[in-house]
Every structure is written in C-alpha cells, then in structure tokens.
Amino acid sequence: MAKSVLSAAHFHNEEAAFAYVEAHLWPNGPVCPRCGATEEHVGRLQGKTTRMGLHKCYACKKPFTVRIGTIFESSHLALHLWLQVIHLMCASKKGVSTRQIQRMLQCSMKTAWFLTHRIREAMADGGLGPLGGEGRAVEADETYIGGKEKNKHAVKRHSGRGGVGKQVAFALVERGGKVRSFHVPNVTGETLRPIIVAQISGDSAFMTDEGGQYRHVGGEFARHGKVNHGAGEYVRGDAHVNSAENYFSILKRGIVGVYHHVSEAHLYRYLAEFDFRYSNREKLGVDDVKRAELALQGVKGKRLTYETTRRQAFAG
C-alpha cells in the first residue's frame, strides 16, 4: 500500500521540518534575512542548548533561523505542524475550517485563526504579468458574498434586492490558466476598468456578460465577446463566462460549506486562498505536494502580527 503524503518525515519531525523549509527557501545555502549575507558569511550554531536551526551571520553579527522574515516568525507553533496545515489547506479544494485546524493541532482558536490567515497571506499572488495574451481569452464576472437577509439578525438586515448588504467579489479568469479575484466596493465601470486594463493583456479576447460596466472597456482588447444572461443566453460561439462561474461555484461552496462566514476585512485573503488553489490545480499539472511547495515559496516577506490582523477585523 502506498504511503500517505502526510507520513513524510517533515510533517512529524522538527529537525526534518527545518531541513525541508531550508532546502526550499535557501536552495543555494543559508541567507541572512537581515543583511543578505550568503553562505560563506554564515555559520550554523550547534550545541545541546542551541535552538533548532539557528545560524549566525558573521557580517552583521546577528543570529537567525529560516523562520525570520517569514510568516513563521515569532510563532511558538512547531514548524512541522505549520507544514501539516499548509499541506491541508493546499490539498482541500474548498478549504479547511479554523475549527478543524484547532481540533487537529489541539491549540486555541486564536492560534488556529491567525495561523490560517498567515498561510492565506503566503498564497497571495504577486501579480506577475498580465493574464491572457494573443490567441487567449480572459473572462470577467462578479458575484456577491454574504448570507440571506432572512437568516441575519434583525439589526444586520438590509432592505433591497440583489447584492444589497453583501460583499462583491470580481474575478478575471484566464481560460485554461489562472484566476485573479478582487474584493471591490461595487461593479461600476469606474471601479472595474482600472483592474481590467491592469490585469489583462490588450491582445486578449475579453469575455463578459451583457453588463453595462464592460461596454466601453471591452473596446480596449483584441475582441470583446458577450452573452446576454438576461435573455437566457449563456454561450454564443466562443463567448461565455462559464470558467468564471465555475470558479465562483467553488468559492461559494467553500465559504458557505466550510467557513460559513467571512468578514469584510478579511475577504481578500480568502479570495487569495481560492485563487491560489484554482491557479495551481491538477488540470494544470500541479498536484497537492507541488501546490504546498509553491505556497511555501510565498512565506517570505509576509509577516503578520495578531494585533494587526485583529484590528483589521474590527475595523471591517
């Protein structure tokens, strides 16, 4: 019988976990996160009382581990447990709830909540180049995130229809490729146009529904294909937004079925999580192990503090 991926040593042994993370973040040897000195100026400190993975930079005289300058910094959670959670969040199509992480790690809800937000930050796309290109199509669509008004507490209900009282998620989906989604205040052309022109290559085919917010910006691309959902039209030749709707289906099933509620302040991080998994899905040749390795590459330079993250939640 084949062994489970989670039986690998770096998921259970702290020394193996440090070696695994160092191999991925320092492929050419240790690098000081404070001054940038490389292997020839760095030494590993060893001894019975020495912290796991401790190095010393002889250029700036500072000690460090591979945790410094990453989402792992200042965390008291063992590194091998971090790797377990990263793998689970990358392998689950619709995400893993904070409550499940809390039960699995036997930690506080505060720790599990903050841990998952740090990992979502690591998953965030740096936006390397525009989507699409010559001969490629990019779909644009929007959806509304939030519970049904009838199920809300009376003081939180909003009058009106459609997206009233809900958060707006706007997505650009490259057919057969990546997705980039955004938490936006509304779906007016004024709001969406800057995002669209910055994120999509001008020689792409731009695919949308009949929404008026796309009418003018569509002329800035090689071709603008539209379908009229209001008239029951969902495909016209190669014009459709089925890829975007498929992405939103996964997103909503995750938010409703796994997370149940997502605050306005943190919606962008949840979008980053779903974007990451969709953009690195099996159909593109990325398996669970590779997906977790890609997430690990994003941990550098994205340190969050609990108080900052908590203040964002209350501000939202």
Which of these, 251, 138, 248, 243, lies nearest to 196 by C-alpha position? 138
Question: Is residue 118 located within the same domain as residue 3?
Answer: yes
Query: How many CA atoms are closer than 13 Å to the CA of 279, on its beta-carbon side?
Result: 23
Residue 47 domain-assigned (yes or no):
no
Quote the crossing angle between the two packed helices 79-91 and 267-279, to the nearest 10°: 70
51-91 pLDDT, tens digit each? 999 999 999 999 999 999 999 999 999 999 999 999 999 99
Model confidence pTM above 0.85:
yes
Question: Is residue 91 located within the same domain as residue 204?
Answer: no
Most confident of 2-6, 156-160, 246-250: 246-250
pLDDT value at 163 more than 90: no
- Domain of 101 in residue numbering reads as 1-14+76-123+288-316
The pLDDT score that the predictor gives to residue 314 is 41
CA separation (Å) from 112 to 89, 94, 242, 262? 12, 17, 35, 15
The pLDDT score that the predictor gives to residue 150 is 42
299-308 pLDDT, tens digit each? 998 666 545 5
Q: How far apart are CA 223 and CA 197, in angstroms?
A: 14
Question: Is residue 108 located within the same domain as residue 239?
Answer: no
Residue 32 domain-assigned (yes or no):
no
Structural contact between residues 157 and 165, judged by C-beta atoms closer than 8 angstroms: yes
CA separation (Å) from 87 to 124, 180, 206? 16, 22, 35
Which domain CATH number covers 275?
3.30.420.10
Question: Is residue 169 located within the same domain as residue 274?
Answer: yes
Residue 301 domain-assigned (yes or no):
yes
Average pLDDT over residues 293-315: 69
Question: Is residue 143 located within the same domain as residue 218?
Answer: yes
CA separation (Å) from 111 to 121, 153, 286, 315? 15, 28, 29, 20
